[in-house]
């Protein structure tokens, strides 16, 4: 194996940072021995912080109405073919109850930016969950809101917030989003969430249209500087009824490489092997875990909602993606040497 690559990986592991050139050369390397060393280093680092435990989060996709029009996303407002749904509070609490019985101690509420769920509804929902499940973490992933709203959700009992930055290049952001959305505003939201005291997750798609290796380097430099508690990355997968319907999907291998790089950069980070990674490659989730990921987010939504929350073509929601099959998931993790635990799974740091 090339000593130069080996020393770049060691430097990242020791200093948790690289120059732009360093990241670029790792991204451009396809030498199997180097990639293996990267993966192994990331796995060692993650074991030193989290051992062999995998945290699970129960994902409740509660609305696919969205006022935004992100060009990649299957639930964008212009997609007239999307069958819309929203769950009422009682349904959402029912999902949480089923999840709690299965052992989930983190609930992730994700949705489009649906004006029906105004602050009062979100606050009522978070308060009800907080009161019923004082021992659980509540994660929100409902997009860009005013700072006061984020503060009010936090005060009602939300602990964590996922808001992928999508791409750290303003120029690239502009090609993935309509003009009314800006990277600057997305970043302001991320800063506000962090200041309020949330455990915050940023993240990006791998292989999104027009993405270059330089864009990925910018993403990595942003993650390095922002120091999030969580990073969500998954391959871009086209959705047939969007303007990006005929673009190619991102690569599983590149996603896995990025999981390892991010683990070395942020040893304590909570890093999911995402549904998109499991969708693009049959063994994607396992490979992600072996490369440094330590979180899996099975789906707790009612089956009908799952089918309609179609962010991209063929999004997985059955089998081990389904919360009710937690036992199968547990077995598949044991088979590769890891174990699922069902506590809150907070950030260690």
**Selected range binding ligand SAH among 118-126, 140-148, 191-199, 281-289, rule: CB under 6 A:** 140-148
Residues paired with 200 in a beta bridge: 161
Neighbours of 239 (CB within 10 A): 24
Residues paired with 161 in a beta bridge: 140, 200
Residue among 75, 81, 76, 91 nearest 303 (CA): 91
Residue 308 is a binding residue for ligand SAH (CB under 6 A): no
Residue 272 is a binding residue for ligand SAH (CB under 6 A): no
Residues paired with 296 in a beta bridge: 56
| Cβ pair 38, 14 in contact under 8 A | no
Residue among 295, 299, 301 nearest 343 (CA): 295
| Residue 79 in tokens | 């997609």
**Shortest Å distance, C-beta 68 to ligand SAH:** 7
Residue 140 is a binding residue for ligand SAH (CB under 6 A): no
Residue 332 is a binding residue for ligand SAH (CB under 6 A): no
Residue 306 — left, alpha, or beta (φ > 0 → left; ψ -120 to 50 → alpha)?
alpha
> Toward ligand SAH, which CB reaches closer, 34 or 293?
293
State the number of binding residues for ligand SAH (CB under 6 A): 19
The residue from 41, 63, 79, 141 that contacts ligand SAH (CB under 6 A) is 141
**Shortest Å distance, C-beta 25 to ligand SAH:** 26
Residue 205 is a binding residue for ligand SAH (CB under 6 A): yes
Only one residue has tokens 């009992």, namely 157
Distant-in-sequence, close-in-space partners of 311: CB < 8 Å, separation ≥ 6 = 73, 74, 75, 239
Residue 82 is a binding residue for ligand SAH (CB under 6 A): no
Residue 237 is a binding residue for ligand SAH (CB under 6 A): yes
Cα distance between residue 226 and residue 83, in whole Å? 37
Cα distance between residue 231 and residue 271, in whole Å? 6
CA 144 vs CA 15, 20, 96, 115, 148: distances in Å: 33, 29, 24, 12, 12
**Selected range binding ligand SAH among 98-106, 135-143, 211-219, 221-229, rule: CB under 6 A:** 135-143
The residue from 312, 316, 330, 333 that contacts ligand SAH (CB under 6 A) is 312
Residue 193 is a binding residue for ligand SAH (CB under 6 A): no
The residue from 39, 172, 177, 239 that contacts ligand SAH (CB under 6 A) is 239
Residue 163 is a binding residue for ligand SAH (CB under 6 A): yes
The residue from 63, 64, 110, 255 that contacts ligand SAH (CB under 6 A) is 110
> Toward ligand SAH, which CB reaches closer, 203 or 345?
203
Q: Which residues of 72-81 are buried (b: 16+ CB within 10 A; e: fewer)?
A: bbbbbbebee
Residue 236 is a binding residue for ligand SAH (CB under 6 A): yes
Residue 201 is a binding residue for ligand SAH (CB under 6 A): no
The residue from 69, 89, 91, 113 that contacts ligand SAH (CB under 6 A) is 113
**Selected range binding ligand SAH among 99-107, 163-171, 212-220, 340-348, rule: CB under 6 A:** 163-171
Distant-in-sequence, close-in-space partners of 297: CB < 8 Å, separation ≥ 6 = 56, 57, 58, 59, 108, 272, 274, 275
Residue among 59, 92, 16 nearest 326 (CA): 59
> Toward ligand SAH, which CB reaches closer, 95 or 142?
142
**Residue 233 host element (H or E):** strand 230-235
**Shortest Å distance, C-beta 231 to ligand SAH:** 12
Binding site for ligand SAH (CB under 6 A): 72-73, 110, 112-113, 141-143, 163-164, 166, 205, 234, 236-237, 239, 276, 311-312
């Amino acid at each position: 194996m090339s000593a130069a690559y080996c020393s770049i990986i060691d430097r990242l592991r020791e200093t948790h940072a690289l120059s732009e050139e360093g990241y670029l050369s790792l991204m451009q390397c396809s030498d199997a021995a180097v990639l293996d060393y990267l993966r192994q280093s990331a796995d060692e680092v993650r074991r030193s912080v989290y051992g062999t435990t995998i945290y699970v989060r129960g994902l409740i996709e509660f609305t696919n109405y969205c006022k935004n029009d992100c060009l990649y996303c299957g639930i964008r407002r212009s997609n007239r073919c999307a069958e819309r749904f929203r769950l009422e509070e009682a349904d959402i609490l029912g999902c949480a109850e089923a999840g709690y019985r299965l052992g989930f101690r983190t609930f992730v509420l994700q949705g489009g930016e649906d004006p029906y769920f105004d602050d009062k509804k979100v606050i009522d929902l978070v308060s009800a969950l907080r009161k019923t499940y004082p021992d659980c973490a509540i994660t929100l992933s409902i997009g860009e809101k005013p700072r006061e709203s984020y503060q009010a959700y936090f005060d009602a009992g939300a602990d964590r917030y996922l808001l992928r930055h999508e791409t750290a290049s303003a120029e690239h952001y502009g090609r993935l989003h309509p003009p009314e959305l800006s990277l600057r505003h997305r970043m302001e939201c991320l800063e506000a969430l962090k200041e309020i005291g949330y455990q915050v997750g940023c993240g990006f798609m791998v292989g999104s249209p027009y993405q270059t290796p330089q864009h990925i380097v910018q993403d990595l430099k942003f993650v390095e500087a922002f120091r999030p508690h969580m990073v969500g990355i998954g391959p871009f997968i086209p959705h047939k009824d969007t303007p990006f319907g005929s673009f190619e999907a991102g690569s599983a291998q590149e996603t896995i490489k990025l999981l390892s790089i991010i683990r070395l950069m942020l040893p304590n980070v909570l890093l999911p092997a995402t549904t998109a990674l499991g969708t693009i490659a049959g063994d994607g989730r396992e490979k992600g875990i072996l490369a440094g990921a330590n979180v899996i987010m099975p789906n707790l939504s009612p089956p009908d909602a799952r089918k309609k929350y179609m962010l991209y073509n063929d999004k997985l929601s059955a089998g081990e993606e389904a919360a009710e099959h937690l036992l199968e998931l547990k077995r598949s993790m044991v088979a590769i040497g890891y174990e699922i635990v069902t506590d809150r799974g907070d950030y260690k740091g």
